[in-house]
Amino acid sequence: MLRNHASKLAATTAVSAMLMAVAACGGSSGTDTATPGASSASSAAAPSGAKVGLAYDIGGRGDQSFNDAAAAGLEKATSELKLGEVKELEAGSGETGAQKEQRLRLLAQSGYNPVIAVGFAYSEAIKKVAGEFPDTKFAIVDDAAQGPNISNLVFAENEGSFLVGAAAALKTKKEHIGFVGGVQVPLIKKFEVGFTKGAQAVKPDIKIDVKYLTQPPDFGGFNDPAKGKTAAQGMYDAGADVVYQAAGGSGGGVFEAAKESKALAIGVDSDQALTADESVRGVIMTSMLKKVDVAVFDFLKSFVDGTVKAGPTTYDLKAGGVDYSTTGGQVDDIKLKLDEYKKKIIDGEIKVPAE
């Protein structure tokens, strides 16, 4: 990652202090991110209404990808819906499950309702804490944790990844592409499988390199741009000319490697040709759009409307929850072909496996 505003959660007392020191600073975006410290928090004053708590995954605001997409949905909701205070907290690298529980518990104890957890790493924490606060509505992005007051915002990452896999195969000049995953978990496997199937649909014999930066329980692979750069550089040096990254904050390193190798990369979650550091945007031929912003906004709107439902809401291609980006015009020449694949997936003619 080329910039990162994440910070460690050092102690429960520090987090408690941050939660008690709610400062309605205001701002053009409707939220303010606190300066780094033992925890990172922000609060915003909006019209009277729900007090929203949001807990980020590793990387937090500024990851130019997954967390920033959630932040965008929160900002839109703050601007357009009658929300009250908004509190954002960030995860720390290498933290324990107990720390995640504490983060969610402090939000709920402080009267924030609803509470949104960004990322599957909160799976066990949200099940426990939601059980302790049955009158609080919780949502989790990317996980199917069950509970009568838990809404699951999940995505068909395999479908969106199929499209950028097809794009990579259509664009490669060396018949050799690569995939860099942040952490080898089932969720990121969905990205890899979709990407591979999409590329093979275009060119069955295409060479595809795969590298995961870390293995669980080490989730640092989502926030280590140096490792991302090293992994991608190895692929480019071995002959790949397009690399897709599903690695969170580590993706910035993949883009740096692409630039230095005069090659191409594919972004993830957000339209990274718009969000990445300006110096590397030109190497991002497309991004797999995972509309976490839409899911977060939809959940908050349902809360305001009184229509929140527990259980999964799946954002797939048909629902417009995943897609590919066209910023920069680098896939304009293959857009018709990509849209043909898109239609076939939506119509059920192509079934994209998830594992």
Do residues 243 and 283 lie in contact, with contact meaning Cβ atoms separated by under 8 Å? no
pLDDT of 107 higher than 50? yes
The pLDDT value given to residue 280: 97
Percent of the chain past pLDDT 90, that is, above it, reads 79
Mean pLDDT of 348-355: 97
Residue 263: which of 234, 303, 289, 290 has the closest Cα?
234
pLDDT of 28 higher than 60? no
Spatial separation of the C-alpha atoms in residues 188 and 168, rounded to whole Å: 18
How many CB atoms within 10 Å of residue 128?
16
The β-bridge partners of 264 are 242
Which residues touch 268 (CB under 8 Å, ≥6 apart)?
65, 66, 191, 244, 245, 246, 247, 251, 287, 288, 290
How many CB atoms within 10 Å of residue 343?
12
Do residues 251 and 272 lie in contact, with contact meaning Cβ atoms separated by under 8 Å? yes
Three-state DSSP state, 52? strand
Q: Half-sphere exposure (CA, 13 Å, Cβ side) for 205?
A: 1
Three-state DSSP state, 308? coil
Do residues 290 and 12 lie in contact, with contact meaning Cβ atoms separated by under 8 Å? no
Mean pLDDT of 249-259: 97
The pLDDT value given to residue 59: 85
**Per-residue confidence at 258, pLDDT binned at 50, 70, 90?**
very high
The pLDDT value given to residue 2: 36
pLDDT of 353 higher than 70? yes
Residue 213: which of 185, 190, 237 has the closest Cα?
185
**Per-residue confidence at 178, pLDDT binned at 50, 70, 90?**
very high
Global model pTM greater than 0.85: no
Do residues 157 and 193 lie in contact, with contact meaning Cβ atoms separated by under 8 Å? no
Three-state DSSP state, 314? strand
The pLDDT value given to residue 5: 38
The pLDDT value given to residue 212: 98
Do residues 90 and 27 lie in contact, with contact meaning Cβ atoms separated by under 8 Å? no
How many CB atoms within 10 Å of residue 93?
16
Mean pLDDT of 309-327: 97
Spatial separation of the C-alpha atoms in residues 196 and 208, rounded to whole Å: 7
**261 DSSP assignment:** T
The β-bridge partners of 242 are 177, 264
Mean pLDDT of the chain: 88
AA identity, residue 183? V
